[in-house]
Amino acid sequence: MLERTDELVGLARRRIAAAREKRAEQFNQEHRMRPTSEVIDEGDLVIVRESKLDNTMGGKLEWRYFGPFWVTEVGPNSYYLAEMDGSALRRPIQGSRVRLYRKREDLA
């Protein structure tokens, strides 16, 4: 009886581990930082979302984005940016606030 219990416990552990891995992969797909079609690399022009306006009532005519900036370095979850004249920003910007900048000629 004990041999069968050990076998069943091992089987349950393997199934639980497989289910956890599958759910982690699903979560990562659903909560991506950005779509796979929008990859940001060094040298790209980006704009930054003004996140302090997210939780405010009003601000209807406020600028939602500022920039454009050059990406100088790509971190694990953030981007190091520089102004158009080359001066670097002091702190990295969180990746979820950064979007690719598209010029009007590129949109047509």
How far does CA 26 lie from the centroid of its chain?
Answer: 16
Q: How far are the Cα atoms of 23, 29, 49, 70 from residue 80, in angstroms, in the given order?
A: 32, 25, 15, 9
In 3D, which of 102, 71, 2, 42 has the Cα closest to residue 10? 2
Q: Residue 95 gets which letter from DSSP?
A: G
> Helix, strand, or coil here: 6?
helix
Question: Rounded to whole angstroms, how far apart are CA atoms 80 and 76?
Answer: 11
pLDDT tens track, the chain, 108 positions = 667 888 899 999 999 999 999 999 888 877 766 666 678 888 889 999 887 666 666 677 777 888 799 999 988 888 999 998 989 989 998 888 888 888 777 665
Query: What is the reported pTM?
Result: 0.61
